[in-house]
Amino acid sequence: MKVYIDGQFLDEANAKVSVFDHGLLYGDGVFEGIRMYHNRVFKLREHIERLYWSAKAILLEIPMTQEEMIQATIETCRQNNLRDGYIRLLVTRGKGTLGLDPRRCPKPSVVIIAANLQMYPAELYQKGMAIVTVPTTRNLVNSVNPAIKSLNYLNNILAKIEANNAGVEEAIMLNSDGFVAECTGDNVFIIQKGRLMTPPLSAGALYGITRNTVLDCARAAGIPTSEPLMTRYDVYTADEMFLTGTAAEMIPVVKVDGRVIGNGQVGPLTLQLLAAFRETTKTAGEIIFA
């Protein structure tokens, strides 16, 4: 495997950052997860735009233009001869001191990894998964805003641990007001009486690229959509449910906190949207190998 670090492609064994990097010491940095499908980097420009938004929010100046970042990402896929897979793109504050002050970090560091990934067991995409609600509250928007894809993911990891302890793969996180925010790494969708609903960004939901793609697919198919505040009651009484994320794609949910969703099987609108999403992956994105 070849890993891009600050303009160089290094073998995996030699791909290293300093122990004084603030990304390692303090989670001081931002990242993106991006998918490759059918020789295309899916929605690459949207992901890069979101990366730069995250960096701007934490006053991190990325030492490359967006176009340079796009080309470096595509070249990383080429270096690894990948046409399908997963990309992890990180920008750290860079090497500094043991103190907190980001002014001690003169040069941010860019890392791009392209590899293969299977987010959940394959059978769950066919049969649907069971999930739970966990006690860990989603970050407040006025603390570490969930809209920022920062390297500090401890809030999500704590919720993932609670999911693991409950014997499931994923967990719903509520915000401080008790409304559904998102899962540990995925956006939440429910379908009720033919209407597709997902929590608003203001509830603590990530500005998801896959989330937006599925909403676009629904509108194109004439499926009504809305973004209301949602409680667990809305989830429990839904006809269908699924999660979306770059790594997870679209995965159905058939049970939440012991409550069966709908009839306990993957629903027809979920299957329709999944088919539409997969069609979109064939044409939306930057070509890797011409």
Quickly list DSSP for 49-79. Answer: HHHHHHHHHTT---SS-HHHHHHHHHHHHHH
Coil, strand or helix at 253 = strand
> Which residue stretches of 130-266 are H helix?
154-165, 209-220, 232-236
Band (121; pLDDT cuts 50, 70, 90): confident
Q: Is residue 185 part of a domain?
A: yes
From 2, 43, 149, 160, active-site residue: 149
- Does 149 qualify as catalytic in the annotation? yes
My answer on whether 175 and 81 are in the same domain is: no
Q: In whole angstroms, how far apart are CA 283 and each of 43, 69, 73, 241, 279?
A: 10, 21, 18, 26, 7
Q: Is residue 234 part of a domain?
A: yes
My answer on whether 257 and 190 are in the same domain is: yes
Q: Is residue 285 part of a domain?
A: no
My answer on whether 140 and 106 are in the same domain is: no
Supply the pTM of this predicted model: 0.94
Tokens 């401890």 map to which residue?
A: 154
Residue numbers of the domain that contains 200:
122-280
Residue 190 · residue 218 · CB < 8 Å: no
Give me the pLDDT at residue 56, please.
Answer: 98
Q: Is residue 287 part of a domain?
A: no
My answer on whether 105 and 172 are in the same domain is: no
Q: What is the pLDDT of residues 85-98, one digit of tens each?
A: 999 999 999 999 99
Number of folded domains in the chain? Answer: 2
In whole angstroms, give the CA distance from residue 206 to residue 147: 5
Give the number of other Cβ atoms within 10 Å of residue 117's Cβ: 12
> Which residue stretches of the chain are H helix?
22-26, 44-57, 66-79, 122-127, 154-165, 209-220, 232-236, 268-280
Q: Is residue 172 part of a domain?
A: yes
My answer on whether 10 and 107 are in the same domain is: yes
My answer on whether 82 and 104 are in the same domain is: yes
Best CA proximity match to 73, nearest among 32, 30, 107, 29:
32
Q: What is the pLDDT of residues 142-160, one digit of tens each?
A: 889 999 999 999 999 999 9
Best CA proximity match to 59, nearest among 29, 80, 83:
29
Q: Is residue 288 part of a domain?
A: no
H or E element at residue 130: strand 129-133
My answer on whether 201 and 219 are in the same domain is: yes
My answer on whether 248 and 189 are in the same domain is: yes
Q: What is the pLDDT of residues 49-83, one digit of tens each?
A: 999 999 999 999 999 999 999 999 999 999 999 99
Domain end (from 115, 150, 183): 115
My answer on whether 80 and 171 are in the same domain is: no
CATH number at residue 133: 3.20.10.10
Contacts of 94 (CB under 8 A, 6+ apart): 21, 22, 23, 105, 106, 107, 108, 109
* 202 backbone dihedrals φ, ψ, rounded to 5°: -65, -15
- 246 has a pLDDT exceeding 80: yes
Q: Is residue 196 part of a domain?
A: yes
In whole angstroms, give the CA distance from residue 270 to residue 253: 10
Q: In whole angstroms, how far apart are CA 81 and each of 46, 74, 77, 219, 284?
A: 23, 11, 6, 35, 20
Q: What is the pLDDT of residues 209-241, one digit of tens each?
A: 999 999 999 999 999 999 999 999 999 999 999
H or E element at residue 40: strand 40-42
Residue 75 · residue 89 · CB < 8 Å: no
Domain end (from 61, 82, 115): 115
Domain end (from 100, 115, 130): 115
CATH number at residue 17: 3.30.470.10
